[in-house]
Amino acid sequence: MGRIFPAASMVFGVFPGSPGGWKHFLEPVRWAVKPSFPAAAAGARPAAGRCESTMDMKERTVMAKATQYEFETLCRAILDAVGGSQNIANVFHCITRLRIVPVNRDLVDMAKLSSIKGILKVVESSGQIQCVIGTTVPEVYNDFIAISGINPGGEVKADAADTASDAAAVQEKKQNLIIRGLNTLAACVTPYLYAIVAGGMIKGIVSLITALGLAASDSDIITVLSAVGDAPFYFMPFMAGYAAAKRFRVKEVFGLMTAGILMYSTFSAPAEGVSSYAFGFIDIPAYNYKSSLFPVILSVWFFSVIFHFIDKRMPKNLRIVFSGALSFLIAAPIFLGFLAPLGNWFASVMTGGFAWLFTHAGPFAGALFCGIIPLTVIFGIKGWSAVELQNLSTLGYDYMLPNFFYSNLAVSGAILAYALKLKKGDQRSAAISTGLVCILGITEPALYGYALPEKRPLAAAMAGGAIAGALAMILGVVTYAFSAPGITSIATYMDEGNNFLMLLVVMAVAWLASFAISFVLCKKEE
């Protein structure tokens, strides 16, 4: 074990044994993504080398209270700009954005919202008002739901629940089918990405340990770590069912129950010679839905339709007993016999379709997809994670997720080249910091702060990403686990062949190409 953690620390910079440089490397992250609030409390920094004391603890307490005050100030300002809690149909967040679905878009003051300190950028997309805040968004979200009177999960309190629910439904009907589909996929995947990323990173550590020969592939430590890393993927239907239930506005436990029905051993591991079960005129195939996504989403959606129909007509004092039971009696045979197999077929067709596209038009498809990724981030277009997870489940590898890594490196190179054309000062230092942060997979500060306003760094990042995407398809680079698209994910590319070496080549090309193009395009600041 003593040999494992120092080796891992050299790659991830997070384990004991690291030379300490990781703190300096992560400092730009803290600087670039923290909200720029007005100072809430003034005080001198303690002298360097000062020992921990009661005064230090008091100062930290004051700083913590100041930070809490800043978050509350930010939340109240956002709430005022969007028209108050009565104008919020739903609110949720991803890794860097607070996403608000307004009841009445006309009541939202976009200019006022954009001027709030602590918000990097405001994007309106897919019926959402997206406030780009940074990695502190979970804390801001918690304060926001407390101040606004909205319950966790985005459901407003009872006195406005019906109005908000109806408004959200009307808002969605105004969107086209593609946007609604992408929003649904994003809502059914985003809530559990933290678990998927954690599992992917652990699978990457397993690959690193075995590749370095630190432990045999059949050793106990690898067996245990593999179980930990594989768990979120194997039981993904349960997480997807939970998230889908929230999306379709039914109790989350019903989503878990739906996933449990699909994963039940009678269907996933049938007796020898049994391929299906007859339920009246419905033929239910015996199929293992482990690691699946689309079957459970379709099943929860259909259950929600039946449940809402029954629950509205059921006397209130009988709902808790009969609404769920009757809904499952009707819905379960249908989603087991038709919708879950349909979802499985759709996943296979989609995976095969993308595989065909990237196989027959590899370099072109890679260049196009990787080149437009900065635009998908800017406009808040999501839903790719579902495709990537399905590829990993069906194929055992994925060729789409790496493009986000190359694109982030391309944005980094473009912004750092642009920074060299700026005069020395705060603006240049800030550009360098945001450029470095991109290597870790956080590009919003760079895209909204520099690439989009200046245009030329954005063009360079897209061009560099396109070059890297085409090269990656030629070299056949893939990832074997889901992870955040940053430098910490490189272990997920390791295999017994040369996939990792090819990754390093594409990484270098992505960064250098965008750096060179940006350096040529951007003019030196006078």
What's the token pair of residue 201? 């990173």
Contact assessment for residue 506 and residue 512, using Cβ atoms and an 8 Å cutoff: no
Low-confidence winner among 76-85, 321-330, 441-450 (lowest mean pLDDT):
441-450
Structure confidence by residue, pLDDT tens digits, 457-480:
999 999 999 999 999 999 999 999
> How many Cβ atoms sit within 10 Å of the Cβ of residue 23?
10
Residue 49 has pLDDT above 80, yes or no: no
Chain-centroid distance of CA 244 in Å reads 16
Question: Of 215 and 163, which is predicted with more confidence?
Answer: 215
Residue 512 has pLDDT above 90, yes or no: yes
Q: According to the model, what pLDDT value does residue 223 have?
A: 92
Name, of 43-47, 79-83, 94-98, the range with top average pLDDT.
79-83
Classify 152 as helix, strand or coil. coil
User: What CA–CA distance (Å, rounded) separates 274 from 260?
Assistant: 20
Structure confidence by residue, pLDDT tens digits, 444-461:
778 877 888 888 999 999
Q: According to the model, what pLDDT value does residue 322 have?
A: 92
Residue 20 has pLDDT above 50, yes or no: no
Contact assessment for residue 172 and residue 103, using Cβ atoms and an 8 Å cutoff: no
What single letter denotes the amino acid at residue 197?
A: V
Strand (E) or helix (H) holding 424: none
Q: What does CATH list as the number for 55-165? A: 3.30.1360.60
What's the token pair of residue 47? 């002298």
The percent of residues above 90 in pLDDT, for the chain, comes to: 29
Contact assessment for residue 446 and residue 121, using Cβ atoms and an 8 Å cutoff: no
Q: According to the model, what pLDDT value does residue 175 have?
A: 56
Place of tokens 């061009």: 463
Low-confidence winner among 107-111, 300-304, 458-462 (lowest mean pLDDT):
107-111
Please report which residue ranges of 212-339 form alpha helices under DSSP H: 220-234, 236-247, 252-263, 265-268, 294-313, 316-334
User: What CA–CA distance (Å, rounded) separates 157 from 148?
Assistant: 10
Question: Of 467 and 86, which is predicted with more confidence?
Answer: 467
Strand (E) or helix (H) holding 122: strand 121-125
What's the token pair of residue 360? 């027959």
Classify 371 as helix, strand or coil. helix
Place of tokens 């009307």: 170
User: What CA–CA distance (Å, rounded) separates 391 from 263?
Assistant: 20
Q: According to the model, what pLDDT value does residue 166 have?
A: 45
Residue 12 has pLDDT above 80, yes or no: no
Question: Of 44 and 99, which is predicted with more confidence?
Answer: 99
Classify 442 as helix, strand or coil. coil
User: What CA–CA distance (Å, rounded) separates 40 from 18?
Assistant: 35
CA distances from 384 to 185, 190, 378, 499 (A): 8, 11, 15, 23
Question: Of 357 and 473, which is predicted with more confidence?
Answer: 473
Eight-class DSSP state of 406: H
Question: Of 271 and 337, which is predicted with more confidence?
Answer: 337
User: What CA–CA distance (Å, rounded) separates 370 from 384?
Assistant: 12
**Averaged confidence pLDDT in the chain:** 79
The residue extents of the domains of the chain are: 4-33, 55-165, 242-342, 359-521
Classify 155 as helix, strand or coil. strand
User: What CA–CA distance (Å, rounded) separates 252 from 260?
Assistant: 13
Residue 41 has pLDDT above 90, yes or no: no
Q: According to the model, what pLDDT value does residue 461 have?
A: 95
Contact assessment for residue 387 and residue 369, using Cβ atoms and an 8 Å cutoff: no
Residue 60 has pLDDT above 60, yes or no: no
Question: Of 42 and 67, which is predicted with more confidence?
Answer: 67
pLDDT mean over 234-259: 91
Question: Of 152 and 180, which is predicted with more confidence?
Answer: 180
pLDDT mean over 26-48: 44
